[in-house]
Amino acid sequence: MDPNSGIGPAGPRLDTSTQPQVTAPDFMVPNQSPMDIQGNLTGLQQQPASPTFNQQANTGLPMDQSPMAPAGNSFNEPPQNIQPDLLPPQEPPTDGKKVAIIAVISVVVCLVVGAAMFFVGVASGTTKGRTAADKMWQQKEAERQKKEDGDKDDSADVAEELDLGDLIDPQYLDETIEGEVGDQKASSDGFVLKVTNVERNFKTDDPNYKLDPSKELVKVNFIFGNTTKDKPKDVSNFGFRLEDSTSAKLTPENIAEYEDKFDTVKLDSGAQSKGSIVYLINKDEKPLKFVREQVYRISGQNREVTTRIVITIDK
């Protein structure tokens, strides 16, 4: 039986398999011997193969159905996505667009500069207003102080400088040294005191202080110094007392604040300072004495000495 089922090699095969039908090449003819076929194949190897020729067709082997790569492409080269040009090419900005962009930038810059100048102006105006208010307050305060100074006693014109002279080696004695307003008095321990003036019926600005109508405030203004060679002094307001008509020794009154209020100071050799102390007394009370008192313990002698300076401020 014909191996080709009665159909020549050039005709289609009656094969029910799913493989595609293959047409035999034109050079193969029936009843050719294997030697002739081999010769024909040898001649064909010298010619370029046709893209549609499949040598497996005559052998009865299954055809390679792998897809063939397009001509001119490498298997290792990734496919290229080709996008159609759907949009027209973009034209560069015209002169009108450039002008518009420059105008927008100019407006933004102007706004920023204007805002900065506004804040600077506000800050400057605030500073000027505060300076003007401070100046006005200082003027009013100066007028108030000038008015108060005009109400003071004439003794306020006494010079507020001490003549300390030559520094001395201090001595510690039991003594009482007396004087009046405007006198400079010195004790043996090297302490110098001068009451410059006294303010009767002193008015305080402390809103929390309530004065009894039967009482009176007295403000004593004074200067003091240290004439010792190498002995600094710690001076406190509790070293000063106001002695009233009953010889009672009054302590400084507890008032929040007033001009030249004196609390405590460290006085070096040859130095001087000033201060003021306010006392509470009975209304129109006299006489009054301002007393500075200091107690010393003499080492090695088991004794104490008291140095006193007494200034009569009202008789």
pLDDT, one tens digit per residue, over 19-67 is 445 444 444 444 444 444 444 444 444 454 444 444 444 444 444 444 5
The yes-or-no verdict on residue 91 having pLDDT over 60 is no
Region 227-254: mean pLDDT is 94
What is the model's pLDDT at position 126? 63
Least confident range of 29-43, 168-182, 230-244, 277-291 = 29-43
The pLDDT value given to residue 161: 87
Question: Mean pLDDT throughout 103-107?
Answer: 81
Distance CA 198, CA 260 (A): 13
> Residue 128: what pLDDT?
64
Provide the phi-psi class of 87: left if phi over 0, else alpha when psi is between -120 and 50, else beta: beta
- C-alpha 200/C-alpha 96 separation (Å) is 88
Kindly report, residue by residue over 146-181, the tens digit of the pLDDT: 666 555 444 344 447 899 989 999 999 999 999 999
Report the Cα 114 to chain-centroid distance in Å.
26
Q: How confident is the model at residue 85 (pLDDT cuts 50, 70, 90)?
A: very low
Share of the chain above pLDDT 70, in %: 57
* Predicted local distance difference test score (pLDDT) of residue 55: 45
Q: State the pLDDT at residue 288.
A: 97
Of 268, 262, 273, 263, nearest to 223 (Cα)? Answer: 273
Compute the distance between CA of residue 126 and CA of residue 162 in angstroms, rounded to an integer.
46
Residue 209 above 70 pLDDT? yes
> Residue 106: which pLDDT band, with cuts at 50, 70 and 90?
confident
**Does residue 120 have a pLDDT over 90?**
no
Backbone φ and ψ for 194, nearest 5 degrees, come out as: -145, 120
Under DSSP, is residue 256 helix (H, G, I), strand (E, B) or coil? coil
Q: Is 0.85 surpassed by the pTM of this model?
A: no
* Inter-residue contact 288 to 218 (CB < 8 Å): yes
CATH topology of domain 157-314: Immunoglobulin-like (2.60.40)
Domain residue spans of the chain: 1-77, 157-314
Q: Mean pLDDT in the chain?
A: 75
Min mean pLDDT across 29-33, 227-231, 292-296 is at 29-33
Q: Which two tokens stand for residue 197?
A: 């003036």
Task: Compute the average pLDDT of residues 90-98.
Answer: 60
- Predicted local distance difference test score (pLDDT) of residue 75: 43
pLDDT at position 155 is 38
Residue 116 has pLDDT above 80, yes or no: no
Please give the pLDDT value at position 45. Answer: 46
At residue 51, the 3 state secondary structure works out as: coil
